[in-house]
Amino acid sequence: MLDSARAKFKPIGFHHVHFYLEDVGYWCQWFETCLDFRAIATEIDSLVKDAQTSILQHGSIQIRLSAPLRASSPVAQFLSVHPPGIAEVGFTVNTDLLEDIVIPAWGDLTHRLIGKSHNQLPTKSITSSLFSHIDHIVLNVPVGEMHAAMQWYTERMGLRASDRFSIRTERSALKSIVMENEDRSIQMPINEPSTSNSQIQEFLDYNCGAGIQHLALHTYDIAIAVDRLEQSGVRFLKTEPKILIDTQPTHPNKALLQIFTQPIFDRPTFFFEIIQRRNDAQGFGEGNFQALFEAIEREQISRSTSLA
């Protein structure tokens, strides 16, 4: 079905992210309490059978949570291999599909393609919401797979490669390439480890393979967002300064402001990023990227991993 539809669609935005986990009730409460999402529906998902699914919304951002009801559920099968995390990323496409299409992506990640006429989500806007939209989603892959994954997203999803990074400390390193669509409403950095003790390798070990490392939520006022999140019990990685600021040399009035949560699950895998693009600053801020890498490295050392 994908081959016949591939020429007809082009992803035009993120539609939703779908977490597979053991307890929908607990995590519904967590997202409502900590990130100010609101549960809007509980449904039977015909494409994720034998599972309990809840849908939560915050402005234009939709998150789906599914827990298995039976061992035959794809959710149970995912959790038999991986810890809880994002198992599916949904995209709105520029055509009307008769029904949602789910396709296998990299590792055990899947993508759901949703016709634009079925997209009932609000558009990006400055509202009273804490977050405005999904800024980017980061995929970690094993060593040697980054370029193959890049090729897959180019050929199958119509994305293009843009920024490239190589981040290194005295202890470890990673490589990254950013995939995006034409207007950058979709941005998906792909990371691979450059050393055996890299934080990316640690993620892959704990996650038992490739997977989504973090989800970046855009805000128009990061100071207010961070204050409210901390009051709600969200814990952040320790960086200096607390909110990282990367000013663009060619546009001094533009800057990226970023902060990163601690991993939200028991294993050190998935976390959230909060990002503000002051005056529509582009890119990812290599200086901030370096600071994030170093902060996660310090967390590795505190867990007495192979970096110690």
Give the global pTM.
0.91
Helix (H) or strand (E) holding 189: strand 187-193
| Angle between helices 199-207 and 286-302 in degrees, nearest 10 | 60
- Per-residue model confidence as pLDDT tens digits over 78-108: 999 999 999 999 999 988 765 788 999 999 9
pLDDT at 39: 95
Which positions of the chain have pLDDT values less than 70? 1-8, 97-98, 118-128, 286-288, 304-308
Q: Return the pLDDT at 128.
A: 57
**59: CB partners within 8 A, 6+ apart:** 122, 125, 127, 129, 130, 131, 132, 133
Residue 120: predicted pLDDT = 54
Tell me the two tokens of residue 295.
């902060």
The two counts, helices (H) then strands (E), for the chain are 7, 15
Alpha carbons 202 and 297: distance in angstroms, whole number: 10
Tell me the C-alpha distance between 184 and 215, whole Å. Answer: 16
